[in-house]
Amino acid sequence: MRSRSDYLVLDTDVSSQILRGRLAGPTLAAVAGRRWCVTFVTVGELWRWAVVRRWGNRSRRELEDWLRGTVILPYGEHVAQIWGEISAMADLRGRPRPINDTWVAACCLARGLPLATGNVRDYADFVEHEGLVLLTS
C-alpha cells in the first residue's frame, strides 16, 4: 500500500510534457517513482487541447491510455469549499487567481498532496498563504 507521500499531482503543463516525451532533467528525476495524479481540471484541459490542436486517433488513444494509468482527482464538496475559500481570499488580497489554477490548488489542498508544475509563479500565492506544497527539483 502506498503512503500519501508517494502521490504527486501533475499540473497540466507537466502532464503535457510527459505525454509528448519532453519532460527531462531535474523535473523528470523529481517525478520518477511517484504515483502520478491529475485533477479533473487537467483532464479537461488535455481533452480541450486534443480538439483545438486536432489530434488524430493515435494521439487521442495515447492520451486515453496515459489517463488510465494516472489517478484522476475528482471534484467533490470539500474541494469546492476549499476552492471558494482560497478564491475569495486571493480576491480579498487583491490578487485574483485564474479559475483553473485555483481548482488545481484546491484539489491538492483537500488531499494534502504536492503539485508538480512549471508555472511556479501561478501558484506562489497559494504556497505563501494557503500552504500549497510545490515539488521542487
The verdict on residue 79 lying in a domain is yes
CA-closest candidate to residue 135, choices 30, 50, 57: 30
Tell me if 87 is assigned to some domain.
yes
Its pTM stands at 0.92
The answer, yes or no, to whether residue 136 has pLDDT greater than 80, is: no
Task: Kindly tell me if the per-residue pLDDT of 2 is higher than 70.
Answer: no
pLDDT at 137 over 60: no
Q: What is the mean pLDDT of residues 25-40?
A: 90
Range of the domain at 96: 4-130
For residues 44-73, give the mean pLDDT. Answer: 96
26 domain-assigned: yes
Residue 137 lies in a domain: no
84's enclosing H/E stretch is helix 77-92
Helix (H, G, I), strand (E, B) or coil at 114: coil
Q: What is the mean pLDDT of residues 27-53?
A: 94
Question: What's the total number of domains in the chain?
Answer: 1
Mean pLDDT of all residues in 8-17 = 95
Q: Span 93-114, mean pLDDT?
A: 97
Q: What is the mean pLDDT of residues 84-107?
A: 97
Average of per-residue pLDDT values in the chain: 93
The residues with which 134 forms a beta bridge, in sequence order, are: 115
For residue 97, the domain's CATH number is 3.40.50.1010
Q: What are the φ/ψ torsions at residue 123 (nearest 5 degrees)?
A: -110, 0
Residue 29 CB burial class (10 angstroms; 0-12, 13-18, ≥19): exposed
